[in-house]
Structure 1
Amino acid sequence: MSRLKNFIKHSDLIGNIYFQIMRCILALLSHVVSVRSKQILLTSYSGRQYSDSPKAIYLMLKADPEFKDYTFLWGFQRPGEFPEIPENEKLSIDSFRYFIKLLQSRYWISNTSIERLIPFKNAEHIYINSWHGIPLKHLGPDEAHLEFLPRNWYRKVSFDLLLSSGQYDHDIFKHIFPNTKQIKITGLPRNYELVTTSDHEKEAIKQRVVQQLGLDPNKKSILYAPTFREYQQVAGHNDFKVPFDDDFFRRMNEKYNFIFRGHYFVERTENSDHIFDASKYPDLNELFISTDLLITDYSSLVFDAALLEKPIILYLYDLEEYRKLRGFYRDPEELNLPKSYSQQELEQQIGVSLSNTYELSIEHEFNHEYNQRLDLDYKAIKSLLKK
């Protein structure tokens, strides 16, 4: 199924045909499917996960007495992988029934495209999108080689509310989503946990992660979370090769728990036998909380992790290639964070960043530059859901 979806998505001709057919089908269905005023449909990362800001919003609404008589539905690629969601709330996102339920639902909540890259929302639908991070790399109209389906979606999608963390991402979203009705600096719901969890709760989370991943509790933990490189697709699969050799892994594993978290688009990971693979771990915030250092590159999660004001290193081993093929809104070399360009430099910087004398002043400044709203404007979300 994933290869078929990639084929449709990455072919302009097939993507255009798919779009025209689906648009006609959905237009016809919209005349016979009635919208239910108290039904909310949610997805996270196009149905791959139960996570991120849609999950945070869902849990807030479920705990709010004003929404006790609302129906909640989740779209998943593999519904059976999420036993924590009641069976009557789960849908297969690749089914015809999913589109029927989407048309029925007055409220849509997602962090990517809930409508499977077919922008068809009508006037009765309320679409709230949290996006999935503060953009560092180019998106949508600024991607040089973006295919028809996503390019068309960025141009035409109409969010009623798009959430942002500060003026920086607010202005980028205004550019890449020109039909959005309202962009509001609310803070990202997924990050509320990072700034409100107590030290006692954090310690309990750390112990749980250590146990579930089989980590050594006497070692410090490093989280390596690189972004997606769409130009590395091999035979229709999204692959990622972990860019370290065996000697590096051996030295790291002698001192630390070295944890890998792959991007949600990555289907296959090469050279990951020597590390703890937490790509399927259900809660990224728990990984942030329980580790001592983040290594990333061009990923937006650098802005989320900064909320904890722990050491961060940008590993920019392929910067020139990524800059040429994808591009940035803000060049990583301009970010006020430690940077490494080779394994040797990275290993040295890890030692510095995890030393007892390391000062976190630059992480503090970086956090407050991009995360201008550290609380959460739940009222802005709730007001639309009561509209």
Structure 2
Amino acid sequence: MELKKKKPFQGITTWMKVVVACLLSKVLPAPSKPIILIGGNLGEKYEDNAAAFHSYLMKNCQQSYAVHWMYDPSASYVHEKRIENAVMLGSFKNYVLFFQAAYTVHGHSLMYDIAPSIDKYIFWNKNTIMVHISHGIECFKKILIQPEDVPLLERCDVFNCASSYEKDIKLNEWGMPEEKLPITGMARFDHLTYNQPVSEVKTILMMMTWRETLFGLSDTEFIESSYFQATEKLITDSVLNQLLSVNKVTIKIILHPFMKKFESYFTELGTIHSNIEFYTYGELFIQDEIQKSDMLITDYSSIFWDFVYMNKPVVFYTFDQKEFLEMRGSYLDLNHDLLGWKANSASEVIHALTRILEQGETENPRFADLSNYFSFTDRNNCERLANYMFSLNTSNSKLRDNT
């Protein structure tokens, strides 16, 4: 599945860069410090676990390691956030550093976060320790492995886990060797306050996940899809909008990045009701919105863990549960394991919101169950992952010999 459009002759130019970079890395002097390359969100945003771990490394490890953030050249956040040692994805420097690196850390995929199209040449790099930090905790969507993913997964050395629950998924469902699955916790939760419920709900974040069935739809087909119909039915409901208006509550809807083709159909809806705002994925920093928002409405997005961790309400709008399970499947039992309010229809979402807003039920009703899925709430997840990763310096025979 191609997540980015390729430029003309990109395959040839990439091959040339990779070949020369690989050869050059063998004759260049050893780096003065071990190199760490880290990236996430296809280089387009500074979010999630990869960004949190990068921030930790920059603050705590620069004396001993040369840390580089990988970014998409079309993105502006590197300059806005003044990210040091940022390297453009697909540049010649990118590939040279890839073959010199002691470690790489990626949130989505090596071929999108660290080095474009490197799946074809991944085994040319036999020395770098490669860490898949993941962009979220595995729970909803069962893994969908594409042919280009196989060599990347096989080559990866570490798939860190939030808990024994997630480790069990990666061990028994993904088929990953147990020695590649340390339980360290997830980096981004170091920036969240555990068990801090709000006194009242004034800002609701709404984020719906993607469906593979939406790829390739025409505009007409998309408008007729259950995905759009269910979203439209909810946000145009007069009872909902009266409820928001009376309680002075705003819903901020952030569209999935793959929704770009259909953004206009949602933003048009946002002009109808003043209490509902639509934003594209690139307009806001998700981690900021998570902390500022008082509750979440979602379908099957793993972002719900952030809200449960803070003990904030979550409403799951599972309007297409049967189709979702048939299409992709879920590791969670969607009838019993959802940590929040479950709503199969727009009217059930509104019923849950009424209880939350008018009866003050602002804590997550399933907060006590979080301990079944999280091993750590001490905000030391980055430190644990870093210590484990660096411990491979002596225990992993693939480590580059820089002497």
TMscore range, shorter length = 0.7 to 0.9
Task: Decide whether the 8 Å contact of 1:154 with 1:177 is kept in 2.
Answer: no
1:267 counterpart residue number = 260
2:231 corresponds, among 243, 253, 256, to 243
Cα gap change, 1:328 to 1:359, in 2 (>3 Å) = same
2:87 counterpart residue number = 91
Cα gap change, 1:182 to 1:305, in 2 (>3 Å) = same
Cα gap change, 1:6 to 1:63, in 2 (>3 Å) = closer
Cα gap change, 1:53 to 1:236, in 2 (>3 Å) = farther
Cα gap change, 1:235 to 1:24, in 2 (>3 Å) = farther
Gapped runs of 5+ residues in structure 2? 271-275, 394-403
1:32 corresponds, among 17, 21, 24, to 24
User: Structure 1 residue 181: deviation in Å?
Assistant: 4.3
Q: Within the alignment, does 1:277 sit opposite 2:278 as a pair?
A: yes
* d(CA) in 2 for partners of 1:329, 1:4: 25
2:336 counterpart residue number = 334
Say which SS state the counterpart of residue 299 (structure 1) adopts: coil
* d(CA) in 2 for partners of 1:342, 1:371: 29
Q: Within the alignment, does 1:191 sit opposite 2:189 as a pair?
A: yes
Task: Decide whether the 8 Å contact of 1:158 with 1:181 is kept in 2.
Answer: no
2:147 counterpart residue number = 148
Gapped runs of 5+ residues in structure 1? 9-17, 204-217
**Over aligned residues, Cα RMSD in angstroms?**
3.5
Say which SS state the counterpart of residue 41 (structure 1) adopts: strand
Cα gap change, 1:4 to 1:313, in 2 (>3 Å) = closer
**TM-score of the pair, normalised by structure 2:** 0.75
Task: Decide whether the 8 Å contact of 1:112 with 1:132 is kept in 2.
Answer: yes
Give 2:182's aligned amino acid.
Answer: K
1:382 corresponds, among 384, 387, 394, to 387
Tell me which moved more, 273-282 or 45-54: 273-282
Task: Decide whether the 8 Å contact of 2:209 with 2:299 is kept in 1.
Answer: yes
User: Structure 1 residue 26: deviation in Å?
Assistant: 4.3
Cα gap change, 1:184 to 1:155, in 2 (>3 Å) = closer
1:82 counterpart residue number = 78
Cα gap change, 1:134 to 1:101, in 2 (>3 Å) = same
**Correspondences of 1:304-343 after superposition (within 5 Å):** 304-336=306-338, 337-343=340-346
Cα gap change, 1:361 to 1:311, in 2 (>3 Å) = closer
Say which SS state the counterpart of residue 277 (structure 1) adopts: strand
Cα gap change, 1:197 to 1:32, in 2 (>3 Å) = farther
2:59 corresponds, among 60, 63, 66, to 63
Cα gap change, 1:98 to 1:191, in 2 (>3 Å) = same
For these two proteins, the number of residue pairs brought into alignment is: 352
User: Structure 1 residue 115: deviation in Å?
Assistant: 3.2
**Correspondences of 1:1-387 after superposition (within 5 Å):** 5=3, 26=18, 29-34=21-26, 36=31, 37-64=33-60, 66-68=61-63, 70-77=65-72, 78-86=74-82, 89-116=85-112, 118-119=118-119, 120=122, 122-140=125-143, 143=144, 147-150=146-149, 152-153=150-151, 155-159=153-157, 161-174=158-171, 175-176=173-174, 178=176, 181-195=179-193, 220-234=202-216, 241=228, 243-245=231-233, 246-248=236-238, 250-251=241-242, 253-254=244-245, 255=247, 256-268=249-261, 269=263, 270-273=265-268, 274=270, 275-278=276-279, 279-336=281-338, 337-358=340-361, 360=363, 362-375=365-378, 376-377=380-381, 378-385=383-390, 387=393
Say which SS state the counterpart of residue 377 (structure 2) adopts: coil
Cα gap change, 1:359 to 1:257, in 2 (>3 Å) = closer
Give 2:24's aligned amino acid.
Answer: V
Greater relative CO, 1 or 2 (CA 8 Å, sep 6+): 2
Tell me which moved more, 69-78 or 124-133: 69-78
2:273 counterpart residue number = none
Cα gap change, 1:7 to 1:285, in 2 (>3 Å) = closer
CA radius of gyration, larger in: 2
* d(CA) in 2 for partners of 1:359, 1:344: 19
User: Structure 1 residue 25: deviation in Å?
Assistant: 7.4
Give percent identity, aligned residues only: 18
Say which SS state the counterpart of residue 178 (structure 1) adopts: coil
